[in-house]
Amino acid sequence: MIRRLATLTGAALVALMVLTPAPAAAQGKDIVDTAIAAGSFKSLVAAVQAAGLVDVLKRPGPYTVLAPTDEAFAKIPKADLDALLKDKAKLTAVLTYHVLTANVSAADLKMMKDFGTAQGGRITIDSTKGLKINGANVVKADIPASNGVIHVVDTVLIPK
């Protein structure tokens, strides 16, 4: 089932999200609220808000979010980050590249070589020394949310 979900294109994901009603009352915190509560994802949350993706990431999912820390965003030169935040289409592409349209644990990722993202691109996975996504280290894995899971990464992933 994960492989089937992984083949969803960005357009199919958008259609799915439009047709899926938001939950009346989620059990526990969703991905957005979990990220806010952690306190180390202020830049990510601000970017999600700027792109208008908050309501999407509050839907039932399941989603896996590869969440860059504030330190990961700090690696991007300020002028480049400011330009990205002002370009909603590019910002949306970058953010949806961090979203997998399935609940994928770190153990599942370690058994894979790549995976399709909500943006439509593919991430590469390397588990020879720890767990790396497109060269970014997964610094904390399997943070549960009511609508999926978060894996913390130390670099902002940029789609090719």
Q: Across the 160 residues of the chain, what is the mean pLDDT of every consecutive 10-residue run?
A: 36 32 52 94 95 94 96 95 94 97 96 95 95 97 96 95
- 123, part of any domain: yes
- 160, part of any domain: no
| CATH code (residue 94) | 2.30.180.10
- 135, part of any domain: yes
**What pLDDT, on the 0 to 100 scale, is given for residue 11?**
33
**What pLDDT, on the 0 to 100 scale, is given for residue 12?**
32
Domains contained in the chain, number: 1
C-beta separation of 100 from 60 below 8 A: no
Domain span holding position 135: 2-18+26-153
- 6, part of any domain: yes
Strands (E) in the chain, as ranges, are 63-68, 99-100, 114-116, 122-126, 132-133, 136-145, 148-153
pTM for the model stands at: 0.81
**What pLDDT, on the 0 to 100 scale, is given for residue 160?**
83
- 98, part of any domain: yes
Quick one: which of 139, 97, 129, 128 has its CA closest to 115? 97
C-beta separation of 116 from 99 below 8 A: no
- 159, part of any domain: no
- 51, part of any domain: yes
- Residue partners of 106: CB distance under 8 A and separation at least 6: 131, 138, 141, 142, 151
